[in-house]
Amino acid sequence: MRLASHCHTLADGIAVRQIGELTFPLIQKYVDEIVTVEEGAITKAIVSLMEKGKLVVEGAGAVGLAALLYGGKVRQRGVTLCLLSGGNLDLQALARVVERGLLAEGRSLKLRLEMIDMPGALAHLAAILSELQANIFQVSHDRQKSSLPLGEAEVILNLETRGAAHIETILLRLEGEGYRPEVIG
C-alpha cells in the first residue's frame, strides 16, 4: 500500500499543493522576494513571541519573524514589518513547540548516561547538577533495563539550562566526574 505524500510543517496554513488563482497575480505584482525558512526557525519565532511578546501565533503566522530573526535571508531596508497572525495551535502542538524551541536555544538539555547502581549515586549526580545551577526538570532512573550491565543504571535527564556555554560546562564537568553523557532529543 502506498500512502499519499504529506507535508509536515508547523506552517501548515501556508503549505499549499498549488498556487492560488487569486493570490498569485497579487504576489507577482507586489512581492519583491520570497524566502524559505527551516522548521527550527519557525519554532524559535513562536517561542520568542510567546516569551517576549506574550503572543500565541501559529506557524504560518510566525514565518515572517522566523525569516527576519532566524533565517538570515531577509535584507532589511528601512522599516521592516512582520505580520503576525493566527493562534491555531492545539495544546499538544504548543507543548512540543516550546520544548523544541528551548532545546534549539540551548535553554534545555536532554541527557542519557549510565551510572553505578548503588545508594547515593543518583543523589551525587543531582548534587553536581545543583552545583552547576542546572535545574532538573525531569529524571528517569532505570535499574532494570536488560541491556545494562549488572550493577549499573540508566539515567535520562531533562535539564533547564542558561544557554550553550552552560550546556558545555555541564557536559565537561560530568565527563570530568567519570560520566559519559549522551545528548539526546
Distance, CA of 11 to CA of 38 (rounded, Å): 10
The predicted pLDDT at position 146 comes to 83
| Domain shared by 139 and 73, yes or no | no
Q: Report if residue 2 sits inside a domain.
A: no
| Domain shared by 21 and 97, yes or no | yes
| Domain shared by 19 and 91, yes or no | yes
The predicted pLDDT at position 6 comes to 56
Predicted structure pTM score: 0.65
The predicted pLDDT at position 132 comes to 97
Question: Residue 150: which CATH number?
Answer: 3.30.70.260
Tally of domains within the chain: 2
Q: Report if residue 29 sits inside a domain.
A: yes
Calculate helix-pair angle for 164-176, 121-131, nearest 10 degrees: 140
**Close Cβ partners of 87 (under 8 Å, ≥ 6 residues apart):** 56, 57, 58, 61
The last residue of one of the domains, among 103, 136, 158, is: 103
| Domain shared by 120 and 98, yes or no | no
The predicted pLDDT at position 114 comes to 94
Q: What residues in the chain have per-residue pLDDT under 50? A: 1-4
| Domain shared by 46 and 113, yes or no | no
| Domain shared by 86 and 149, yes or no | no
| Domain range enclosing 38 | 12-103
| Domain shared by 71 and 17, yes or no | yes
Question: Residue 73: which CATH number?
Answer: 3.40.50.1100
The predicted pLDDT at position 12 comes to 79
Q: Residue 41 has which C-alpha cell?
A: 526557525
The predicted pLDDT at position 3 comes to 44
| Domain shared by 110 and 96, yes or no | no
Q: Report if residue 116 sits inside a domain.
A: yes
In terms of Cα–Cα distance, which of 54, 58, 60, 65 is closest to 94?
58
